[in-house]
Amino acid sequence: MTSKAPTTTTEDDITAETIRRFEGTPDPRLREIMTSLTRHLHGFLKEVQLTEQEWFEAIKFLTATGHKCDDIRQEFILLSDTLGVSMVVDLISHRKPAGATESTVFGPFHRPGAPELPMGANIAAADKNGMPAVVFGRVLDVAGRPVAGALLDVWQANSEGFYDSQLPNADELQMRGKFRTGEDGRYVVRTTRPVHYSIPTDGPVGVMLNATNRHPWRPAHIHFAVSAEGFEPVTTHVFDSIDPYLKSDAVFGVKDSLIVDFQEHPTRDKAAEDFGMEPPFVTAEFDFVLKRRA
Ligand SMILES: [Fe+2]
């Protein structure tokens, strides 16, 4: 006669067994990630005592997030941004020496294929209602020497707070351009003054923000991705110092070193002459400092 000892499987048994199954992972980094992911994910489930109904809601939410994505809409980046994940990864990944320009979120609105434009070109030709703006400065190394041949990839929402990909004619690239510095490292971009805008709330991320009583606003900014041969690239924003949402950015992207004053030029002055601008307009000066590759 055989007797079976009664067995009780606990939550902790499942956690331990799941971790054990990843022990044979050949890539040590993947093994570390899967083991830690299992430990934290199971820990979270046990901490909140997640119900089956809540789990199905989560599956539905993630499925809807995937369905919302296409070639130009990236709801998963938006989810990562609004959960603070993008900025934590950014801070872990980009420890810059003092003086180098700090990075911030890449965001969901970058599009490849923006045209390379002559220095000083206007990326906002189609944005008729915005306040004309000139953003200028230099690309420098940490020692303050100009970086020649640096590429600035610039993108921005229009004065209504929408990126081109959110407009009816979404195929048309607007408010974007690439600029390459000469020997003096200088750059000049004509655009319109950035405005604060709401991140898209017509998808699952909007449902999450609404259910948690969070606002969807991002403070006014212009995106820059700056790269040059021999240097670490930086993906960052330039923020307008008067924006009311600087302290509560929906995606946690603000860093003090990226906030600049936009100077107002209501009448004809030297800047109007220097930049060939008709008042009123604004100017913002910002130097990008790149760290040399090791
Ligand atoms: Fe943006």
CA 156 / ligand 1 centre spacing (Å): 6
CA 280 / ligand 1 centre spacing (Å): 24
* DSSP states of 194-254: ---EEPP-SSHHHHHHHHTT---EE-SEEEEEEE-TTB--EEEEEEETT-TTTTS-TT---
CA 74 / ligand 1 centre spacing (Å): 13
CA 223 / ligand 1 centre spacing (Å): 6
pLDDT score for 94: 87
Superfamily (CATH) of domain 75-290: Aromatic compound dioxygenase (2.60.130.10)
pLDDT score for 194: 98
Full-model pTM: 0.91
Mean pLDDT per 10-residue interval, the chain, length 294 residues:
71 96 98 98 98 98 97 93 96 87 94 94 94 98 97 97 92 95 98 97 98 98 98 97 98 97 97 96 98 92
CA 173 / ligand 1 centre spacing (Å): 15
120: number of Cβ within 10 Å:
15
Cα distances (Å, whole numbers) of residue 116 to 106, 156, 162, 180, 181? 20, 15, 22, 8, 11
Nearest to 114 by CA among 103, 123, 104, 125: 123
pLDDT score for 3: 57
| d(C-alpha 109, C-alpha 163), whole Å | 7
CA 216 / ligand 1 centre spacing (Å): 12
- Do residues 102 and 91 lie in contact, with contact meaning Cβ atoms separated by under 8 Å? no
Residue extents of the structural domains in the chain: 13-50, 75-290
| d(C-alpha 130, C-alpha 265), whole Å | 14
Place of tokens 């790149």: 290
| d(C-alpha 148, C-alpha 186), whole Å | 8
CA 230 / ligand 1 centre spacing (Å): 27
Place of tokens 């979120």: 105
CA 58 / ligand 1 centre spacing (Å): 27
